[in-house]
Structures are given as structure tokens and as C-alpha cells.
Amino acid sequence: MHKQDFGHYPATRLRRLRRSPALRALVAENSLSAADLIWPLFVIEGENKVEDISAMPGVQRHSIDRLVAEAKKARQLGIPALALFPKIEAGLKDSEGSLSTDPDNLVCRAVRAVKAAVPELVIICDVALDPYTDHGHDGLLRDGVIVNDETVAVLVQQALTLAGAGCDVIAPSDMMDGRVGAIRSGLDAAGFEQVSILSYAVKYASAFYGPFREAVGAGSQLGGDGKKTYQMNPANAEEGLREVGLDLAEGADMVMVKPGLPYLDVIRLVRSQYAVPCMAYQVSGEYAMLMAAIENGWLDRDRVILESLIAFKRAGASAVLTYFAPFVAEQLIPR
Ligand code: PBG
């Protein structure tokens, strides 16, 4: 039985429920609130420093003291979670991404500072080597190949380092096979059984990450296949279900689909198969596209941003990582 009744005109007039703002609100199938937002923020060394990112107008990199101010703003706006991304100075990178496991690295210091100032915010950190490797790959490179199992061993150490700094949610974004299980065992063995894992389970080899790579200064010299030997082919959707299935079996608490708007079908597919919180990442290139049109006066800023985000809710996303988070949260405050 289909749940729709196939009433027809003139007895059925769908416009009756669109007559007024109150009626439209009453029958809305989805809603967006600040609680649905995760705010990705870029961190740099230094004091009282804020840098613009040319391909992401309105988004900045912040030194830790300025990041703390942003975190306080997030709490005031009702945004529950931040995702922190470090921009590592070129001189500190090496082929092994050694700094990733240093408990005093930039992102660990940022986590400690934000947790100390705003303990109730959920702090999410990426596990992947790309901010730290001089070649810009998420894993270790041996004879031109990204090696899986050796990388996973380092990722476990990176996850433990982040958990030790106070990170609440470990988010492996590297797409190595088996990393979720290895990280879960590592965390549990070290007494971090309450630290959760948000797996970037369905992450595509996407051109939409371009502005992010400028923001963190990584990935301009990846070589031939780029990240295609570990990130997914944009042609595939069902393979995403295998990725989600494996990550859940290995202990992921939440999964993510990334990028966002071009992959709403995949979010819907995941939600139709698995009862698990599914996050979506409206990535840097999506932000850049919208901002380019907004700044040219071609799209209406307030309306197009809200419409882009309700689309994620409609597709079934539990929450959305978006650079628009503070702007949107401000819009959503009832006045
Ligand atoms: C690192 C990572 C990337 C993004 C988030 N974590 C880039 C990549 O995989 O190359 C992209 C986020 C964005 O574009 O906003 N693994």
C-alpha cells in the first residue's frame, strides 16, 4: 500500500496548505536549527592572527587565542560542535607526517585551549596525515604507492594523541581500509572508550576540496592519480554502502558522506539502509561556488544558504559540517 492518497483536483488543492507562513510552517517536513550545525575552523600558529583564504571569502584561519573567541561565539549561537583543521608550516612537514603524533602539535594545543575555555562544545578532529606530510597524501607513500596497513598504525597513534588532548570525536578522513577498527581498539586499550568515532565513511575523490587544500596548504603536489587510490570514485553510490557497513562493523558511532550537495542521493541511500547518525560535509568548493555567486549578486545570500542546508536535512542528514555555520545560526535566532 502506498501512503499517499491519489486525490485529485478540484477536491485536492495542494496550494491550500501553502497560503500563509503559519500554514507552511505547520506542515513543514523538515527544519533546520543551530543544533544541526558543525562548524569547521582552520587553526594557525601565532598570536592574535587572522588570515583570509582567497578561495573562501568570509572564512579565515585563526591563531589559537582567536580560535577560542570563535568557539565562544559558537556556544552563544547554539552551535554544538566544531571541527578543527590545522595549517602546518611547510618546514614542519616530512614524508612520514611525524608531527601528527606529537602531543604538542598545533591542533592538540588548539583542542586543549578550546576545551579549557568552552568545555561543553563537542570537538571533532580529523585523523589523516595530509596536513603533516610534505607530499600532501593522507597516508604513507612507499615507492609511489599509499600503503594501507602501515598508515593505519600511524593513524591509531594520531587518534590517541588527539584523544589525549581532549578531543571528543575522532574523525578518520583518510579512507584507509580497516582504520576504524584499529582506532577503536587503540582508543579502548588506552582507556578512551568514551571517545567516539565519526567515520568519513563515504568520501569521494572530489575536485570540490580545492579551496580547503589552499586553506590548509596541502595537496598541491599529489601527483597523477591524486587521492583516487583511496577516496571513492564519484561514479559510485552502492560502494558507499559497503564502506558504511564495514565502518559500523568496526565500531564507528557516526558516519559521514562528503562532499554534500552533489551526493545527496548517497545520504538518502545510507539512511535507508542503516539506522546510524549520518553527517554531511558541505565542503569548501560548495562554499566557494555559493559565495562566488552571492558576491556577484547572482544569488540571494540568506535564502540560498538556508535552502542549501535544508536540502541536507531533507536527504536525511543528522547534521551538516558547513562553513556557513555561524552565519546560519545567527539567521535562525528567532527575533
Ligand atoms: C583531509 C580532509 C580534506 C577535507 C577534510 N579533511 C581534504 C582532502 O581529503 O583532500 C576537505 C574539506 C573541504 O573541502 O571543505 N583528509
- pLDDT tens for each residue of 257-266: 999 999 999 9
Looking at 87, 203, 227, 313, which residue is catalytic?
A: 203
Ligand 1: which residue has its CA nearest to atom 12?
283
- Looking at ligand 1, which atom is closest to the CA of residue 283? 15
pLDDT in tens, 105-157: 999 999 999 999 999 999 999 999 999 999 999 999 999 999 999 999 999 99
| pLDDT above 70: percentage of residues in the chain | 98
State the pLDDT at residue 130. Answer: 97
Q: Is 128 in the pocket of ligand 1 (CB under 6 A)?
A: yes
The one-letter code for the residue type at 113 is: A
- Looking at ligand 1, which atom is closest to the CA of residue 218? 10
What is the per-residue DSSP string for 252-315?
A: -SEEEEESSGGGHHHHHHHHHH--S-EEEEE-HHHHHHHHHHHHTTSS-HHHHHHHHHHHHHHH
What is the per-residue DSSP string for 82-104?
A: EEEEE---GGG-BTT-GGGG-TT
pLDDT in tens, 33-49: 999 999 999 999 999 99
Mutate to test the pocket of ligand 1, among 107, 155, 225, 283 (most ligand atoms within 8 A of CB): 283
Mutate to test the pocket of ligand 1, among 38, 88, 209 (most ligand atoms within 8 A of CB): 209
- Looking at ligand 1, which atom is closest to the CA of residue 173? 16
State the pLDDT at residue 223. Answer: 80
CA 320 to chain centre: 7
C-alpha cell belonging to residue 141: 607513500
Burial of 11: CB neighbours in 10 Å, binned 0-12, 13-18, 19+? exposed
How far is ligand 1, taken at its centre, from the CA of residue 5, in Å? 44
Radius of gyration of the chain (CA): 21
Check whether 268 has a pLDDT greater than 80: yes
**Per-residue pLDDT band at 59 (split at 50, 70, 90):** very high
State the pLDDT at residue 294. Answer: 98
User: Average pLDDT, stretch 175-194?
Assistant: 98
- Looking at ligand 1, which atom is closest to the CA of residue 128? 16
Told to judge if 93 belongs to the known catalytic residues of this protein, a careful annotator would answer: no
Domains and CATH numbers, the chain: 32-332 (3.20.20.70)
Check whether 96 has a pLDDT greater than 80: yes
End-to-end CA distance of the chain: 43
Verdict on whether the full-model pTM lies above 0.75: yes
State the pLDDT at residue 274. Answer: 98
Q: Is 138 in the pocket of ligand 1 (CB under 6 A)?
A: yes
Q: Is 130 in the pocket of ligand 1 (CB under 6 A)?
A: yes
How far is ligand 1, taken at its centre, from the CA of residue 212, in Å? 6
Q: Is 100 in the pocket of ligand 1 (CB under 6 A)?
A: no
Told to judge if 72 belongs to the known catalytic residues of this protein, a careful annotator would answer: no
User: Average pLDDT, stretch 324-334?
Assistant: 91
**Per-residue pLDDT band at 335 (split at 50, 70, 90):** low
Ligand 1: which residue has its CA nearest to atom 14?
209
Q: Is 212 in the pocket of ligand 1 (CB under 6 A)?
A: yes
- In whole angstroms, how far apart are CA 328 and each of 221, 262, 332? 34, 20, 6
**Per-residue pLDDT band at 53 (split at 50, 70, 90):** very high
C-alpha cell belonging to residue 66: 582567536
Q: Is 214 in the pocket of ligand 1 (CB under 6 A)?
A: no
Ligand 1: which residue has its CA nearest to atom 6?
173
Check whether 1 has a pLDDT greater than 60: no
**Per-residue pLDDT band at 3 (split at 50, 70, 90):** low
14: left (phi over 0), alpha (psi -120 to 50) or beta: alpha
State the pLDDT at residue 61. Answer: 98
